[in-house]
Amino acid sequence: MAHSTIRFGVLGPLQLRADGADLPLGPAKQRAVLATLLINRNRTVPIDSLIDAAWQQGPPPEARASLHAHVSRLRSLVGGAGADAGAVLVSAQPGYRLNVPDEACDFGRFAIERRAGIQAATAGRFEEASGHLSAALAEWRGPVLEDLRDFGFVDAFAAALTEDKLVTLTARAEAEIACGRTHSVISELEALVDEHPYREPLWAQLITAYYLAERQYDALDAYGRLKATLADDLGIDPGPTLRGLHQRILRQEPLDAQNAARATAKRAAATLRRPSGGSRESAVAHLRDAAGGRHPLLAQATRVGRLADNDIVIDDETVSRYHAVIVDTGNSFVITDLQSANGVEVAGQRIRVSATLADGDRICICGHEFTFEIREG
């Protein structure tokens, strides 16, 4: 277990702090090793996986010896900060395990506060929810592992955690609107829809905030902009939720912001990863295929595709070599389309980049169907 003064961070550049001061983490490959261990915290990471992460394509013959040297230096760094290095960075066949409690890493604290906020919003305690969700978002210092984006292992994890952040921003905005503070979220929502122009829940919140702030013209204009963007870029119309919201605004009907916030929180609650205690060596979720076979989501990232080195192999020429990846962020499970030729559908809708999976969601990849299931308990 990490010493109470040691804190790890991935929600921004890789970080290790002791007694409030940042510690130097060494060269890029050493940081990549630490980052891989950290995003798989409390799980054993095989030596070959660490080499693949740090050296990527074509590791040299001396990569294994260099890896052991990097681990030795990381242990010295942890021990020098006052922790029991042998208990924090453990040799465990077939590799190494970094033992870090949620409270000692930023994305663990993010998960704790996010869960508490969503649960409070589900119960209608919106002031409490806003406080927890704001605390979760305060853990972010910048883009995920910003200093290691040249390493391929970062991409899927960063995309998944960014999806978690967007879900949290959505829930926090709903809570603020439910508390009657519509003006406090309008600027943030305007920036978010500019950054994510196809994300309809964000548009729904912005339109609702405009309307409740007595800016009906802006609400209708925002709907018009979204409709034009979806038609021009994707050839589709807004979904039924937004169309219904538009009609209520045209009729100048009152909107129940608190009921909407509870509904958003309930949807988010269905995606929450159930805690597994200190160890993460056993799967807490799996995909069930059409024949009833179960594919455990044991690793931090589970790859799905046609080639044999995927974790879940689909032998079909229409499936891309590396089609999708499911990432366990510690908060939830997020599926990301790896720019496949034929896409990924979740709950009957093709995802544009990533989607947070809810218990029972149907996933379709080129006609091959899977059901995502979270283990009880």
CATH code of the domain in which 60 resides: 1.10.10.10
pLDDT at position 11: 98
Does 233 share its domain with 128? yes
CATH of the domain at 118: 1.25.40.10
Where a domain ends, among 54, 72, 104? 104
Say what the pLDDT of residue 281 is: 57
Q: Please tell me whether residues 21 and 141 are part of one structural domain.
A: no
User: Using CA atoms, how far apart are residues 162 and 9, in angstroms rounded to an integer?
Assistant: 15
pTM of the predicted model as reported, rounded to 2 decimal places: 0.87
Closest CA to 6 of 97, 84, 117: 84
Note whether residue 291 is domain-resident. Answer: yes
Provide the pLDDT for residue 266. Answer: 87
Q: Does residue 74 belong to any structural domain of this protein?
A: yes
CATH of the domain at 309: 2.60.200.20
The answer as to whether 156 is a domain residue is yes
57 and 200 together in one domain: no
* Single residue among 73, 104, 135 that ends a domain in this structure: 104
Is 278 among the domain residues?
A: no
State the Cα–Cα distance between residues 327 and 333, nearest whole angstrom: 6
Strand ranges for 59-199 from DSSP E: 89-92, 95-98
Domain extent at residue 313: 285-374
Look at residue 68 in the predicted model and tell me its pLDDT: 96
pLDDT of residue 268: 84
Residue 277 forms part of a structural domain: no
Residues 306 and 209 in one domain: no
Residue 155 is encoded by which pair of tokens? 């991409």
Judge if 97 and 69 occupy the same domain.
Answer: yes
Looking at residue 27, its pLDDT comes to: 96
pLDDT averaged per 10 residues in sequence order, the chain, 377 residues: 74 94 94 96 93 91 96 94 91 94 94 95 97 98 97 93 92 94 95 94 95 96 96 91 96 93 86 63 82 88 94 96 93 92 93 91 97 79
pLDDT given at position 57:
82
Whether residue 196 sits in one domain with residue 71: no
* 338 in a structural domain: yes
Map residue 229 onto helix, strand or coil. Answer: helix
Q: What is the DSSP string of 7-32?
A: EEE-SSS-EEEETTEEPP--SHHHHH
- 131 φψ region: left (φ > 0), alpha (ψ -120 to 50), beta (else): alpha
pLDDT on residue 324: 96
Together in a domain, 31 and 146:
no
> Is 87 in the same domain as 113?
no
The answer as to whether 275 is a domain residue is: no
Last residue within a domain, chosen from 60, 84, 104: 104
In-domain check, residue 194? yes
Distance CA 7, CA 141 (A): 14
Same domain, 308 and 243: no
**How many degrees, rounded to 5, is the angle at CA 156 between CA 153 and CA 157?**
85
In terms of domains, do 210 and 198 share one?
Answer: yes
Tally of domains in the chain:
3
Question: Is residue 228 domain-shared with residue 352, that is, in the same domain?
Answer: no
Q: Are residues 246 and 316 in the same domain?
A: no
| Rounded Cα distance, 67 and 49, in Å | 11
Residue type, 166: L
